[in-house]
Amino acid sequence: MLEAFRTERLNFPIFKEKIQLSSCSQSAMHVSVKEAVNDYFRTWEVNGMDWKGWMQACENARLSFAKMINADKKEVAIVSSVSHAASSIATSLIKNNRKKILVTELDFPTIGHVWQSHRDSFDVTFIKGKENDWIDKEDYNTMLDENTLLVSTSHVSYYDGYKQHLKEIADVVHHKGAYLFVDAYQSFGQCEIDVKKMNIDMLATGLQKYALGIPGIAFLYIKNEIAQSLTPKITGWFGQRNPFLFDIRNTDYADSTVRFDTGTFPMVNGFAAEAALKVLNKFSMDEVEKRLQYLSGIAIEEADKRGLQVKSPRDLERKGSNTAILVNNASEAESRLLKQNIILSARNDVLRIAPHFYNTEEEVITAVEAVADFTTNL
Ligand SMILES: Cc1ncc(COP(=O)(O)O)c(C=O)c1O
């Protein structure tokens, strides 16, 4: 383990007692994130209110996020969840003769729910992959046509950690004149995302998974040229050029993606986000990704040794941190392992072992052993 990772691990108190490998659901708590949330309450208690300081924390988080994905600050909106971000896009798209929205079956269900609620405006079609639902660029190419307005997909699958090559997908999507929307909730914080190099049009993520934060705040990136042409329908005073004009009769949307801001920011969550991104920014995402590929390799090898069935891709370049193991009664296994102080996350028929940079090889091995014990003692 890199010395810097080892040192940072000391700031996650949970590792004194427990093995937490649940970054696909909730990453471990860093002391500075807790401190930041406490700071919000401290300023409230002592100063009565501190609108300027509270807003600034959210703005700092927005700037950090923008830098991390190589976007401009004005290309990022502060929203409350990924569902909110997808709904904002769905309601703001300009209706033209392109009516088709393609959603992949590896997307998190909330994305399907959002788009399906707009069936009165769009033809929503799902893309299914051939092998294990793993979609490749040919699958996109086959489904895209001149009626496609937007393709919605996930960078990394919440279920089995399948990781897509976003630049390749963007090329296919743009060749047919459609937009690409990426749900990066399962990738942001565990690997590099460069929206310019990858040529992504729209991207959303929350902070609770690999980004070391808490729920209640999320970010929406929309490429400047596209954002300028969109009129948000989920909106509010902070989406205006000057919220403090208090002009009830007129709308004057803010420049670029900031127009997708809505009401008062989720300030407590903004404090947590600012602190969480500061921790992540101590490291290069390339080093984090390499570390997680190494831990992935160990998880797969240990699972193979014990005859467990791995649902995740074996090619480490095509997989995120999450190694999903097929388990009967996965949610019961999650509860049982919790009693042994091992925190994993179940989804349907799999248990997900999802380390972050702070986890050790030994923790991954112990977790796989515990999963194997559970399956043999069923
Ligand atoms: C890939 C992905 N997208 C979206 C969500 C849900 O996002 P939200 O609750 O912020 O709408 C999750 C939650 O687990 C997820 O893993």
| Residue 327 in this model has a pLDDT that exceeds 70 | yes
Nearest atom, ligand 1, residue 85 CA: 11
Q: How far apart are the C-alpha atoms of 151 and 170, rounded to whole Å? A: 9
From residue 112, give the alpha-carbon distance in Å to each of 132, 146, 193, 220.
19, 22, 23, 18
The domains spanning 3-29+284-376 and 34-280 adopt the same CATH topology: no
Percent of the chain residues past pLDDT 90, beyond the cut: 96
| Residue 131 in this model has a pLDDT that exceeds 80 | no
Query: Which pLDDT does position 109 carry in this prediction?
Result: 97
Dist. CA 345 → ligand 1 center (Å): 14
For the structural domain made of 3-29+284-376, what CATH number should be given?
A: 3.90.1150.10
Nearest atom, ligand 1, residue 86 CA: 11
pLDDT (mean) for 274-282: 98
Query: Which pLDDT does position 95 carry in this prediction?
Result: 77
pLDDT band at 58 (very low <50, low <70, confident <90, very high): very high
Over the chain, what is the mean pLDDT?
96
Query: Which pLDDT does position 132 carry in this prediction?
Result: 75
Dist. CA 30 → ligand 1 center (Å): 21
For the Cβ of 83 lying below 6 angstroms from any atom of ligand 1, the answer is yes
**pTM of the predicted structure, to 2 decimals:** 0.97
pLDDT tens digits, one per residue of 235-260: 999 999 999 999 999 999 999 999 99
pLDDT tens digits, one per residue of 93-106: 987 889 999 999 99
Query: Which pLDDT does position 123 carry in this prediction?
Result: 96
Query: Which pLDDT does position 177 carry in this prediction?
Result: 96
Query: Which pLDDT does position 165 carry in this prediction?
Result: 97
Q: How far apart are the C-alpha atoms of 198 and 368, rounded to whole Å? A: 34
Q: How far apart are the C-alpha atoms of 267 and 53, rounded to whole Å? A: 10
| Residue 172 in this model has a pLDDT that exceeds 90 | yes
Dist. CA 48 → ligand 1 center (Å): 34
Q: Where are the domains of the chain?
A: 3-29+284-376, 34-280
Architecture per CATH, 34-280: 3-Layer(aba) Sandwich (3.40)
Query: Which pLDDT does position 133 carry in this prediction?
Result: 77
Query: Which pLDDT does position 1 carry in this prediction?
Result: 67
